Amino acid sequence: MFKAKLESAKEFKKVVDTMATLLDEICLQVNEEGVRAAAMDPSHVALLSLNIPRIAFEDYQADEHEIGIELEAFKKIMNRAKAKDKLILELDEERNRLNVIFENQGKRKFSLSLLDLSGATTKVPELEYHNVITIKGDALKEALKDADLISDHVIMRASPYEFKIEAKGDLNDFTAEFSSEDDAIISIEGEEEVKSAFNLEYLLDMVKGVSKGDIVKLYLGNDMPLKMEYSLAGCELMFLLAPRIEE
Amino acid sequence: KKKQLTLDAFF
């Protein structure tokens, strides 16, 4: 069986929105410890991994199951979440459906037909990073939106004391600079200077669910994938984004 | 010329 209750359907909507911008479908691996999932986008440029430990749920009961979900349909349902709605996710094994229930003044129940995605699990590569930037989510998001006016990609640079996002257009440039003294920065770790270039459309999709108060961790290397981590209402999201390189 | 890599290169 699988039955799990989340305090805020609206908060979980942000998680589903973020998954749906990058992925078409995802296979949730549920067990007594919580819910996990990992998948690459169709072009294999980005990877998203989700971990919701059982402590993030108000109620949680689960045996081992793989629950394959079509994300566009799930997103449409989650868009109906209202403030103060609780969310119950419940596996109906007989009908092979995931019941998505909004609980508030009554119960509104959608039954989402499941996909057979068994065996489609994605392994997450273990990459080693020396530079880690912990930054306020809104500052990062605004800098990426600024850069989007200038170019379709950015260069991220990190040194022991500084983090920069640069965009170069044909005529105009943009640079966001954050030093370890700035309010936006929680910490900058790393002993060397590194830089990698990334596609902006993917970056903007990855920070879609981030709002004021969220803290984002960035792991950077030289022409290495960007690793990004943040939590939304106890749901831990991790992304990898492959770099663009000079040929 | 810039080239977009895929994650497969890092597995």
Q: Are residues A146 and A207 in the same domain?
A: yes
CB contact under 8 A, B5 and A244: yes
Same domain (yes/no): A136, A237 = yes
Kindly tell me the sign of the dihedral angle through the C-alpha atoms of A211, A17, A65, A110: positive
Query: Is A44 within a domain?
Result: yes
Q: Which of A127, A199, A240 is closest, CB to CB, to B4?
A: A199
pLDDT in tens, A187-228: 999 989 999 999 999 999 999 989 889 999 999 999 999 999
A244 has a chain B CB within 8 A of its CB: yes
Q: How far apart are CA A242 and CA A197, in angstroms?
A: 9
Q: Rounded to whole angstroms, how far apart are CA atoms A4 and A20?
A: 21
Last residue of a domain, one of A57, A87, A113: A113
pLDDT for A119 equals 67
Q: Specify the CATH number for the domain of residue A69.
A: 3.10.150.10
Q: Closest Cα of chain A to B1: distance in Å?
A: 5
Q: A24 with A71, same domain?
A: yes
- Residue A118 scores a pLDDT above 90: no
Do A174 and A207 share a structural domain?
yes
A150 and A204 in a single domain? The answer is yes
Among candidate residues A209, A191, A203, A204, the one with its CA nearest the CA of residue A242: A203
Answer yes or no: is A136 within a domain.
yes
> Quick check: B7 and A45 CB within 8 A?
yes
Q: Is A123 on the interface with B (CB under 8 A)?
A: yes
pLDDT (0 to 100) of residue A122 = 83
Are A46 and B2 inside 8 Å of each other by CB? no
- Residues B7, A197: C-beta atoms closer than 8 Å: no
Please state the rounded mean pLDDT for residues A140-167.
Answer: 97
Domain boundary among A48, A82, A113: A113
> Max alpha carbon distance in chain A (Å)?
61
A56 and A155 part of one domain: no
| Helix or strand holding residue A15 (H, E) | helix A9-22
A125 assigned to some structural domain? no
Number of domains in chain A: 2
**How close A127 gets to chain B, by Cα (Å)?**
8
> Given pLDDT bands bounded at 50, 70 and 90, which one contains residue A135?
very high
- On average, the pLDDT of chain A sits at 96
Residue pair A42/A71 in contact (Cβ under 8 Å)? The answer is no
Residues A52 and A140 in one domain: no
Gap from B4 CA to chain A (nearest CA, Å)? 4
Q: Is A40 on the interface with B (CB under 8 A)?
A: yes
Token duo for residue A32: 């007594």
Angle at A239 between CA A232 and CA A208, to 5 degrees: 50
The residue with greater pLDDT, B4 or A247, is B4
User: Which residue among A125, A127, A244 places its CB closest to the CB of B4?
Assistant: A244
Evaluate whether residue A124 is within a structural domain: no
Do A106 and A7 have their domain in common? yes
Mean pLDDT of B1-11: 91
Chain A residues touching residue B11 (CB < 8 angstroms):
123, 125
CATH of residue A140's domain is 3.70.10.10
pLDDT tier, A120 (very low <50, low <70, confident <90, very high otherwise): low
Angle between helices A71-78 and A9-22 (to 10 degrees): 150
Is B10 within 8 Å of A225 when comparing Cβ atoms? yes
- Between A243 and A121, the more confident residue is A243
Question: Where do the DSSP E strands lie in A80-193?
Answer: 86-92, 97-103, 107-113, 131-136, 153-158, 162-168, 173-179, 185-189
CB contact under 8 A, A247 and B2: yes
- The verdict on A102 and A11 lying in the same domain is yes
Q: What gap in Å lies between CA B10 and CA A129, rounded to an integer?
A: 13
Whether residue B1 has pLDDT greater than 80: no
Q: Same domain, yes or no, for A59 and A108?
A: yes
Q: Look up the domain containing A62 and give its range.
A: 2-113
Between CA B7 and CA A124 the distance in angstroms is 10
Tell me, yes or no, whether A141 and A221 share the same domain. Answer: yes
The string of pLDDT tens digits covering residues A89-98 is 999 999 999 9
In a domain, A30, yes or no: yes
Asked if A44's CB is within 8 angstroms of B7's CB, the reply is: yes
Is A120 among the domain residues?
A: no
How far, rounded to the nearest angstrom, does the alpha carbon of residue A216 sit from its chain's CA centroid? Answer: 10
| A69, pLDDT greater than 90 | yes
Size of interface A-B (CB pairs under 8 A): 44
Q: What is the average pLDDT across A58-63?
A: 97
Co-location of A76 and A135 in the same domain = no
Q: What does the pLDDT look like over A173-187, one tens digit per residue?
A: 999 999 999 999 999
